[in-house]
Amino acid sequence: MSCHEQQQNASGFIDGELDPARQAILFAHLAGCTECQSFMETSMRIRDRHEDIEYPADLDETVLGRLMRAREIRVAGFWRRRVVLPVPALAAAAIILIFLMVGLFNRGREQSKPAGFAQPTAVIMIYGIPPVEILGKIPVTPANQFREQ
């Protein structure tokens, strides 16, 4: 085997990636080759000379501060986003809403009783939009009479 091949093996040995059979051949070669010994020694020396690098003290604040701002922008952006719907979808949604309101209003009138009073019978929650209350009449029950006061 040439010195080039043995130095490739030496590189693998330094990384713990050389199998035992080739390791034995490498060591036999190194015993008689000063050039490959020198290559091995230099490569090992680079590995061993680790420097202690100090992490900049101000960097934590900078990085985490930027992350906080990014997070705030993301959260704010979610609530400020504009929802764009195509006209047919908007028209369909409006028609459904009107039918729903009319149906609830008529049902409330049919079921009205003397003891009843006006208060919300349904609350339509649309994500990101304040609740829409639809007024109707429901009977007074022990569960809701306290709310009237």
Partner 1 sequence: MTGHDRLVEAFRAGDDIAFVSLYNIHKRSVYLFGLKMLGDTDEAKDIVQGVFLKAYERRQQLADGGKFKAWLLAIARNDCLTRIRKSGFQTHLSDEHSELPASSLETDEEIAIIRRAVGRLAPEQREVVILREYEDLSYRDIATVTGASEGTVKSRLFAARRRLYEILKPVFAERRTP
**Smaller CB distance to partner 1: residue 22 or 107?**
22
Distance between start and end Cα atoms, the chain: 99
Q: For residue 44, what are the CA distances in angstroms to 10, 15, 22, 39, 83?
A: 10, 10, 18, 9, 61
**Smaller CB distance to partner 1: residue 39 or 105?**
39
As measured in angstroms, the least distance from the Cβ of 29 to partner 1 is 16
**Smaller CB distance to partner 1: residue 66 or 109?**
66
17 binds partner 1 (CB under 8 A): yes
As measured in angstroms, the least distance from the Cβ of 88 to partner 1 is 32
As measured in angstroms, the least distance from the Cβ of 147 to partner 1 is 37
State which amino acid sits at residue 84. Answer: V
76 binds partner 1 (CB under 8 A): no
Q: For residue 82, what are the CA distances in angstroms to 72, 75, 78, 101, 128?
A: 18, 14, 9, 26, 10
6 binds partner 1 (CB under 8 A): no
